[in-house]
Structure 1
Amino acid sequence: MFGPRASRRVQGLQQALRERGLAAAEVVDYQALLSEPERAAEAIAGHRGALVKLESPGEAPALHAALIERGWQRHGATGPAPHALEHGELAHQHYWYAGFADLLRALPADAAYLNPPDDIACMSDKLVCQQRCIGAGVEVPPLLGPVEGYEHLRERLHDAGCDQVFVKARYGSSGAGVLAYRRNRAGRELAYGSAELADSGGRVRIFNSLRPRRYTDGRDIARLVDLLALQGAYAERWIAKPRAPDAHGGHYDLRVVALDGQARQRVARISRGPLTNLHLGNRRGATEAWFDCVAMQALEAATARAAGAFPRSRMIGFDLILRERRSWLLEANAFGDLLPNLLWRGRDTYQDQAALAPSPPARSAPDRLPAHA
């Protein structure tokens, strides 16, 4: 396994392996690969035929900074070096992606990856990912295209005859850098998202916040969009989410995890606002209680279609809107398996991954290699 050794994701899979009686996976930290790239080939060669998982580089601030530096170097190291980020600051995402994509390209091609490096690179660039899905015949919210700044966004809206969009960071995750934007004929604007503007020492910055904010001042909205666009942003039409069929209200979308193209763990993410990410304090809904057989079949068919855009990736988290037997893919996430306490037929996502490994070796053969690298 490649990833930050101390992350919750790595620990989740290690626990699932222990529960199954398997040896712990060998972990090679991405940070080590930045200075010793040959360690990747050595680890894979030492566990020939083993399943190799490439984990999210998140939950590791030093690694995040190192990937930004690497990406800046790959961009030619022109202009001032990227400033050090404060906790929660959203900046330099285009450099981060360039560094991470460069690291992925350096990995050996001939390994049994859970999700291969090039698929992960594609899914980590959300605009390219959506374009790939369109090419595979998967319906997504109509794209308005890249956004270079606030004035360019207004041009995009005018050309598309559209007044409600989501402005999304190309390289963000967990709702970071997502703005739900709408305007009316009188020119009044509203932007809603988890981004917090901060003005310090004459420099305006963006921070992620667990408390979503509403912006109605056009100057603040312009600054938000401009700062996001500097790091890579795009716009897509705002698709209305269905109303939750219970007494608590709100609207929902779906997170569904596909394993080998088949829908497994699934949950409705319900919010009274436009952003449904669960870490923002939104609530879960049980699709098994809400959906009849027809709706469940539609969910599973939509998941299978989305997975078809990435036939070599074995486990992907999909965000979907399912409404009146029609579906839209909002996002494909190569690292969409961090869903604590969400089971499907008795297993969580990490237990599903551990089950892909061979059974524990017999006592008479203690020299069997570990099942994962």
Structure 2
Amino acid sequence: MTFTVIGTPHDRRVGLFADACRRLGLESPEVIAWRDVLRGEPIRIRPGTVLRIDSPGDDPECDALLRGPGDPTRVGGGARWYAAFTAALDRIAAAAAQAGARSVSDPDEIAVMFDKRRCHARLAAAGVPVPPALEGPVTGYASLREQMARAGMSRVFVKPAHGSSGSGVVAFQAHRDRVKAVTSAVPGPDGRLHNSLRVRSVETEPEVAALIDTLAPDGLHVERWFPKAALGGRTLDLRVVVIDGVPTHAVVRTSRSPITNLHMGGRRGDLDAVRAALGESGWRHALRVCAEAAACFPGSRMVGVDLLVGLGWRRVAVAEVNAFGDLLPGLLGLPGTPAEGLDTYTAQITAALSLKGTPA
């Protein structure tokens, strides 16, 4: 079995996947650079290979090809990014079909996962528990406040429809004339919003209005704030990797702010403590919900599910499903699963080897 990866050469994800291939006695995967795909270069995939589509990563050149020239730290440009990204996915799918390559992730499903509105709607339609969302469209701050009032929501998460890694996410609450927004987006010297690795609070209405109005043109997904459980004074959620329908890896993400992304000050938490707080039946239910979320994307053999655990430890809900949610270095598979003792990449390759010859 040979693998071809659509990725960014020298990106950590590609390196970890290649390392896992070599540990299992396979040759290193062929890497087709995202920048070449985005430039419109011919996509030549080896016949019969297994295709893995990975993230464009943090490559500035790829970012410029997707969003246009500018500082890679800037917030915004998601609609343009999405149009360029999905057009590239269509070309990759056509090249894979022509080569007879078996893809471990469905390009159309990746496109759905990168549109938070479509992803949320798909999960809700399948009966997967998700926080209620505003029907939208939310066109700016005035529209947000009006729809929140109509839906009886005073606390919401405002998410760019096509954002990732917490970029531009705003945890917003309003009580009469008092408002508060928690976000990693900060104004830069150029007058535009930029991502910071630290979250900040904004508590004046003109500042909050300017923030939401800046984010709105690219499309927003807004859902009710799901009050999360906490341990040791830190709120938490889970990233659960599901491979071939089985939840195999789980990491606890904790923070003193409502935003738990690990690269924004979040920390890995104690999974055993979370399991104990949920109880065995609660833990099994949490994993079952993650499996149900993954089942909404049957053509994707790996997804990363962001699972919210509610106050009181009795409720869970799915916040997002991630196409590229397996970058969890050093995290080994859950006991009793096919991935026990394996990292996320080795587990995926092992699963692919076990199904060698299975039709795409």
* TM-score normalised over the length of structure 1: 0.85
Deviation at 1:227, TM superposition (A): 1.0
Matched position secondary structure for 1:196 = strand
| Match of residue 19, structure 1, among 13, 19, 23 | 23
Report the Cα distance in structure 2 between the residues aligned to 1:64 and 1:348, rounded to whole angstroms: 28
1:12 is displaced (CA, Å) by 1.0
Partner amino acid, structure 1, of 2:151: A
Specify the SS of the correspondent of 2:300: coil
In the TM superposition, what is the alpha-carbon distance from 1:38 to its structure 2 partner?
3.4
Structure 2 match to 1:176: 167
**Corresponding residue for 1:209?**
196
Q: Which amino acid aligns with 2:315?
A: R
1:327 alignment partner in structure 2: 316
CA distance in 1, matches of 2:60, 2:171: 28
Name the structure 2 match of 1:131.
Answer: 121
| 3-state secondary structure, aligned to 2:326 | coil
Shift of 1:37: 4.8
Contact 1:136 1:308 in 2 (8 A): no
2:303 and 2:61 map into 1 onto residues whose CA distance is 26
Q: Is the 8 A contact 2:236 2:309 kept in 1?
A: no
Q: Which whole-Å deviations, capped at 9, do the CAs of 1:297-355 have from their partners, x for residues lacking one?
A: 11211111111111111100010113444321100000000111111121111111221
Paired position in structure 2 for 1:52 = 51
Cα distance per residue 1:106-160 (max 9 Å; x no partner): 2235342111100101101111111111111111110013321111111111211
Aligned counterpart, 1:356? 351
Match of residue 287 from structure 1:
271
**TM-align CA RMSD:** 1.6
Task: Name the SS of the counterpart of 1:168 in structure 2.
Answer: strand
Q: In the aligned structure 2, how far is the partner of 1:17 from the partner of 1:89?
A: 35
Partner residue, 1:122 = 112
Query: Whose radius of gyration is greater, 1 or 2?
Result: 1
Partner of 2:229: 242
- What CA distance in whole angstroms lies between the structure 2 residues aligned with 1:51 and 1:146? 39
Consecutive aligned runs of 4 or more in structure 1 exceeding 6 Å deviation? none
Kindly provide the CA deviation profile for residues 264-293 of structure 1, in whole angstroms up to 9, marking residues without a partner as x.
110111111100111112221232343132
Take 2:85 and 2:319, find their aligned partners in 1: how far apart are those partners?
Answer: 23
- Identity, in percent, stands at 41
1:2 matched to which residue of 2? 6
Match in the other structure for 1:98: 83
1:218 counterpart = 2:205 = yes
C-alpha contact (below 8 Å) 2:63/2:72 kept by paired residues: no
Equivalence for 1:61: 60
Counterpart check, 1:299 vs 2:289? no
Secondary structure of 1:91 counterpart? coil
Quote the Cα distance in structure 2 between the aligned partners of 1:225 and 1:92. Answer: 14
Question: Is the counterpart of residue 89 in structure 1 residue 74 in structure 2?
Answer: yes
1:347 aligns with 2:342: yes
What's the secondary structure of 2:30's corresponding residue? coil
CA pair 32-172 structure 1, distance change in 2 beyond 3 A: same
Q: What is the aligned residue count?
A: 333
Residue pair 2:93, 2:107 contacting (<8 A) in 1 also: no
* Contact residue 319 and residue 332 of structure 1 kept, 8 A: yes
Consecutive unaligned residues of structure 1, counting only runs of 5 or more, are 70-83, 360-373
- 1:300-319 alignment to 2 at 5 Å? 300-319=287-306
Tell me the TM-score normalized by structure 2. Answer: 0.88
SS of 2:192 mapped into structure 1: strand
Deviates more, 1:283-292 or 1:264-273: 283-292
Return 5+ residue gaps in structure 2 as ranges: 334-339, 355-360
**Corresponding residue SS for 1:2:** strand
Distance 2:143 2:11 in 1: 38
Cα drift, residue 36 of structure 1 = 4.4
